[in-house]
Amino acid sequence: MVVLDEILSQQEIDELIRQAASEVQEEEPQPDVVAYDFKRPHRFSKERVRALQRIHEQFARELSGMVSAKVRARVDLSVTSIEQLTFGEFIRSVPNPSVIILCTMQPLEGSLIMQLSPDISFLLYDRLCGGPGTSIGRTRELTDIELAVLTTQFFEPMAISFENAWSEIVDMSVTLESIESNPQFLQVMTERETVVLISLTLGIGNTRDLVNICLSYSALEPVLKQLTSLRLFDSLRRRAEPEDVKMLHSQIKETPIVLDVELGSTTVTVADLLNLQVGDVITLDRKRYENLEVQVGDLAKFLASPGRLGDKMGIVVTAARPLERSEANE
């Protein structure tokens, strides 16, 4: 075996190592290159996308309040995402059957498309008819009666909320044109047309589903300048109109609220818990005639005494519980 230091001196070996090290250059970080898909041009700037988000957040707030009053339950509606794609891609992403609402939005050209699933539609229909809000458990098209109820109680309020949300941009009139179930029947624009898809999450009880709003670039092109210069927060700072305040108060008064009354509590050992049997008596931390707290959420609002009304338990409100200073400041 040939030993390196028998051929080269230590000085020569050091020089070779130095030269080799100098030749090793750190790789310069390559700039991030984003492929531009000419089939899916991004025609909405970030400013305009942010403006669209603010508009539809306002749309979601108003519509959730209107629908909550109608179904007598809390309805949550919030913007989930906003993306640009082609109309063909949108059509292929919509399941069949669906509930697809086509609307005109004069004076703008083109159609407003709102889409939601049959499952959430059946749930809304059941709540609007006084039911508990359960789905039928299978997917089918809506009947004429179901569509008629949903149109007057949900689709038309959607159109009104949409008009109000866009009122800072354009004074439009949204008119329901038709309702389709098969997305392949939508022939309102070419498949290559650029559209913006606003997806909102609709929540009722434990059920969550998407509501999609599809708008074409060509329809919004006349108002793109207004979108760029929009200052929606100015409208939020304006003094509320008396009619709006009155409508909000009436909607709030119709919102159901759960009241909780706790008879008392106690502490037991694990052994006692394991030995509990039917007929055992547990002593609570409240006296027999002591007032109970009536809670709204996590806040104790009233004092009450227990009683009986017919074959049901009940309470008699005896006093309003004053707020603590820390609670009043929350």
Q: Which pLDDT tens digit goes with each residue over 94-125? A: 988 899 999 999 999 888 999 998 888 888 88
Average pLDDT in the chain: 81
What beta strand segments (E) does the chain contain?
Answer: 75-86, 99-106, 108-116, 173-180, 194-204, 207-216, 259-261, 292-296, 299-309, 312-320
Q: Is the pLDDT of residue 198 over 90?
A: yes
Of 132-136, 268-272, 303-307, the range with the lowest mean pLDDT is: 132-136
Q: What average pLDDT does the segment 245-255 reach?
A: 77
pLDDT at 327: 46
Q: Which domains does the chain carry?
A: 46-253 (3.40.1550.10), 259-274+281-328 (2.30.330.10)
pLDDT in tens, 157-168: 999 999 999 988
Of 66-70, 205-209, 232-236, the range with the lowest mean pLDDT is: 232-236
Q: Is 77 exposed, middle or buried (0-12, 13-18, 19+ CB in 10 A)?
A: buried
pLDDT band at 296 (very low <50, low <70, confident <90, very high): confident
pLDDT at 116: 92
Q: What average pLDDT does the segment 182-201 reach?
A: 89
pLDDT band at 30 (very low <50, low <70, confident <90, very high): low
Q: Work out the percent of the chain whose per-residue pLDDT is above 70.
A: 80
* Those residues with Cβ within 8 angstroms of residue 248's Cβ, 6 or more apart along the chain or in another chain: 65
pLDDT at 6: 53
In terms of pLDDT, which residue wins out, 35 or 273? 273
Q: How many other C-beta atoms can be found within 10 angstroms of the C-beta atom of residue 324?
A: 11
Q: Is the pLDDT of residue 8 over 80?
A: no
pLDDT at 328: 42
pLDDT band at 40 (very low <50, low <70, confident <90, very high): low
DSSP string, 263-301: -------HHHHHT--TT-----SS-TTPPEEEEETTEEE
pLDDT at 132: 79
Of 58-62, 185-189, 284-288, the range with the lowest mean pLDDT is: 284-288
pLDDT in tens, 130-181: 887 776 666 778 888 999 999 999 999 999 999 999 988 889 999 999 999 8
Q: What average pLDDT does the segment 206-222 reach?
A: 90
Q: Is the pLDDT of residue 24 over 60?
A: no
pLDDT at 27: 47
In terms of pLDDT, which residue wins out, 199 or 17? 199
Radius of gyration of the chain (CA): 32
DSSP string, 213-237: EEEEHHHHGGGHHHHHT--HHHHHH
